[in-house]
């Protein structure tokens, strides 16, 4: 009798294992799932609850794709036609290139039939529309603002910079006063790092609404050499204007993750960053308490403006299970998931019902960013791959003193213009 019971149990277990192995796997690439505190706080909740929206016989793989956005983009382009990943998280800058290559599924009809569609901010939805179709569903929005260490400014009697001139001057003063133990500011410059472009365009938007404009059905350069020179001049001045630099020359080539960690570890007094910094600061509560938030310093003759980030969830056009993939998309952009994800990451919600929650309404960190969303500018719906590379190259020209800001600005203008003329955007 005992052996019979053991046999029944073993057979049951074996059947369960066989059933799990036979389950159809849905692959979801999602960069935030690789980083803390998302990895330890959000991923377990996702794994436990996503099964509730999956049809019988399906499961979500626990492999969330490559660990960097640049690698995700490259690998998705190479393997999308295999049907995997089925669902992909990404950056606004990638949407048009995926769309042009025919790699993502239009979601307009599915979204219009969704009972929760009216909960999404119109600005966030419009940012993901190209040629009248919706190509992704937003799960967060944010803007770049100036994060600064309040105690450092109080210690040296400094005021938060409001202009680029004050900005460069203040950054150098802090580096000098702290004897280079802390530098005044940090900007990213790693090749392939999306934040390099995002920081650059945040300052550029103070001078113009767009880098390109549509003219007679074609994209043409909207930027001027003078505007590009001005932004590159800011990078040059932060690095080279004073004998004591505002930015650490030894950290040329730094990426976004290292910059975030550097700020919460006390390496910089100021960074241009978004609300996600509170996530990096969970182990440094004293630093977050000491962090002030202000609009980015404004360019001469410019206006307060910054980059509006909208992150979408997209469906691979070649997925063999698009209906199941859509269930994943709805789950990851649901009220419950966004409320958890945005709270943990510190991002701003693209859903009105989440923004209305007490946790967000009464969170002073959230509200500073929310109150500045109106200064955010969305990117033009073009393929940003090559313009981003050109911008990074121009930044390198000035921070490595290979060119003056004027020379680099003219070079960048010609490169961006040529990309439009050759139809490469």
H, E, C per residue of 4-23: HHHHHHHHHHHHHHHHHHHC
57: left (phi over 0), alpha (psi -120 to 50) or beta: left
Listed in sequence order, the residues at least 6 apart from 224 whose beta carbon sits closer than 8 Å to its beta carbon are 208, 413
Type and span of the H or E element at 25? strand 24-26
Residue 222 forms part of a structural domain? yes
| Residue 2 clears pLDDT 80, i.e. is over it | no
In this structure, are 251 and 149 located in the same domain?
yes
Residue 22 pLDDT grade (very low, low, confident, very high; cuts 50, 70, 90): low
Q: How do residues 51-93 score in pLDDT, each as one tens digit?
A: 999 999 999 999 999 999 999 999 999 999 999 999 999 999 8
In this structure, are 315 and 174 located in the same domain?
no
CA distance linking residue 142 with residue 350, whole number of Å: 9
Q: How do residues 103-126 score in pLDDT, each as one tens digit?
A: 999 999 999 999 999 999 998 999
Beta strands in 163-261 (DSSP E): 212-215, 218-221
In this structure, are 264 and 360 located in the same domain?
no
In this structure, are 264 and 179 located in the same domain?
yes
CA distance linking residue 277 with residue 292, whole number of Å: 12
pLDDT at residue 123, as a whole number: 87
Domains: count for the chain: 2
In this structure, are 278 and 409 located in the same domain?
yes
CA distance linking residue 390 with residue 388, whole number of Å: 5
The partner residues of 374 in beta bridges, in order of sequence, read none
CA distance linking residue 7 with residue 172, whole number of Å: 75
In this structure, are 264 and 115 located in the same domain?
no
Distances (CA, A) of 348 to 183, 233, 234, 247, 270: 28, 31, 28, 29, 21
In this structure, are 68 and 197 located in the same domain?
no
Give the 3-state secondary structure of residue 114.
Answer: coil
Residue 11 forms part of a structural domain? no
- 3-state SS of the chain: helix, strand, coil percent to 5? 50, 15, 30
Q: Kindly report whether the peptide bond that precedes residue 127 is cis, defined as omega within 30 degrees of 0.
A: no
In this structure, are 295 and 402 located in the same domain?
yes
Residue 51 forms part of a structural domain? yes
Q: Kindly report whether the peptide bond that precedes residue 37 is cis, defined as omega within 30 degrees of 0.
A: yes
pLDDT at residue 220, as a whole number: 98
Q: Which two tokens stand for residue 174?
A: 């802090």
Residue 101 forms part of a structural domain? yes
- Are 241 and 168 within 8 A, CB to CB? yes
Range of the domain at 74: 23-141+310-377
Of residues 243, 297, 236, the one with CA closest to residue 270: 297
Interval 274-295 mean pLDDT: 92
Residue 416 forms part of a structural domain? yes
In this structure, are 163 and 301 located in the same domain?
yes
Q: Which has the higher per-residue pLDDT, 282 or 424?
A: 424
In this structure, are 264 and 200 located in the same domain?
yes
Residue 346 pLDDT grade (very low, low, confident, very high; cuts 50, 70, 90): confident
pLDDT at residue 281, as a whole number: 85
Listed in sequence order, the residues at least 6 apart from 330 whose beta carbon sits closer than 8 Å to its beta carbon are 53, 114, 116, 137
In this structure, are 184 and 50 located in the same domain?
no
CA distance linking residue 259 with residue 251, whole number of Å: 9
CA 172 to chain centre: 28
pLDDT at residue 23, as a whole number: 80
CA distance linking residue 253 with residue 70, whole number of Å: 15
Residue 9 forms part of a structural domain? no
Residue 18 forms part of a structural domain? no
| Residue 14 clears pLDDT 90, i.e. is over it | no
CATH number for position 108? 3.40.190.10
Say which residue the tokens 């509730």 belong to. 52
| Residue 378 clears pLDDT 60, i.e. is over it | yes
Listed in sequence order, the residues at least 6 apart from 392 whose beta carbon sits closer than 8 Å to its beta carbon are 189, 191, 192, 193, 196, 197
The partner residues of 308 in beta bridges, in order of sequence, read 143
Residue 331 forms part of a structural domain? yes
Packing angle, helices 164-177 and 225-236, rounded to 10:
10
Q: To the nearest whole percent, how much of the chain has pLDDT over 70? A: 95
In this structure, are 158 and 289 located in the same domain?
yes
Packing angle, helices 385-399 and 194-204, rounded to 10:
80
Residue 280 pLDDT grade (very low, low, confident, very high; cuts 50, 70, 90): confident
Q: How do residues 132-189 score in pLDDT, each as one tens digit?
A: 999 999 999 999 999 999 999 999 999 999 999 999 999 999 999 999 999 999 999 9
Interval 318-325 mean pLDDT: 98
Residue 356 burial (CB count, 10 A)? 11
Strand 218-221 versus strand 137-143 pairing type:
unpaired
CA distance linking residue 239 with residue 252, whole number of Å: 10
């Amino acid at each position: 009798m005992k052996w019979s019971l053991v046999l029944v149990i073993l057979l049951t277990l074996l059947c369960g294992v066989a059933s799990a192995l036979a389950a159809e796997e849905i692959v979801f690439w999602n960069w935030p799932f690789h980083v803390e505190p998302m990895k330890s706080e959000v991923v377990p909740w996702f794994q436990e609850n996503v099964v509730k929206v999956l049809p019988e016989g399906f499961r979500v793989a626990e492999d969330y794709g490559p660990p960097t956005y640049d690698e995700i983009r490259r690998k998705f382009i190479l393997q999308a036609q295999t049907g995997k990943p089925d669902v992909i998280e990404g950056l606004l800058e990638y949407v048009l290139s995926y769309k042009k290559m025919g790699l993502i599924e239009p979601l307009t009809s599915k979204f219009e039939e969704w009972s929760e569609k009216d909960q999404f901010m119109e600005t966030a939805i419009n940012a993901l529309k190209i040629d009248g179709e919706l190509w992704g569903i937003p799960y967060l929005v944010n803007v770049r603002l100036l994060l600064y260490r309040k105690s450092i400014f109080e210690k040296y009697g400094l005021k938060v910079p409001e202009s680029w001139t004050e900005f460069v001057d203040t950054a150098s003063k802090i580096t000098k006063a702290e004897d280079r133990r802390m530098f005044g500011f940090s900007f990213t410059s790693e090749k392939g790092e999306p934040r390099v472009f995002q920081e650059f365009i945040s300052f550029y938007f103070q001078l113009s609404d767009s880098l390109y404009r549509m003219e007679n059905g074609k994209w043409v350069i909207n930027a001027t050499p003078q505007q590009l020179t001005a932004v590159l001049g800011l990078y040059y001045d932060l690095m080279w204007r004073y004998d004591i630099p505002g930015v650490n020359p030894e950290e040329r080539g730094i990426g976004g993750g290292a910059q975030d960690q550097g700020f919460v570890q006390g390496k910089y007094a100021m960074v241009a960053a978004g609300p996600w910094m509170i996530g990096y600061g969970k182990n440094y509560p004293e630093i977050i308490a000491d962090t002030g938030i202000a609009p980015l310093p404004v360019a001469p003759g410019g206006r307060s403006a910054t980059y509006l980030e909208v992150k979408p969830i997209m469906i691979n056009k070649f997925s063999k299970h698009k209906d199941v993939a859509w269930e994943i998309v709805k789950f990851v952009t649901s009220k419950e998931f966004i409320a958890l994800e945005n709270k943990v990451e510190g991002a701003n919600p693209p859903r009105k019902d989440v923004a209305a929650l007490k946790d967000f309404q009464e969170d002073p960190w959230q509200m500073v960013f929310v109150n500045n969303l109106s200064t955010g500018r969305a990117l033009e719906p073009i393929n940003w791959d090559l313009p981003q590379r050109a911008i990074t190259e121009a930044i390198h020209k000035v921070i490595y003193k290979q060119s003056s800001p004027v020379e680099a600005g003219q070079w960048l203008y010609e490169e961006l213009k040529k990309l439009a003329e050759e139809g490469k955007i």
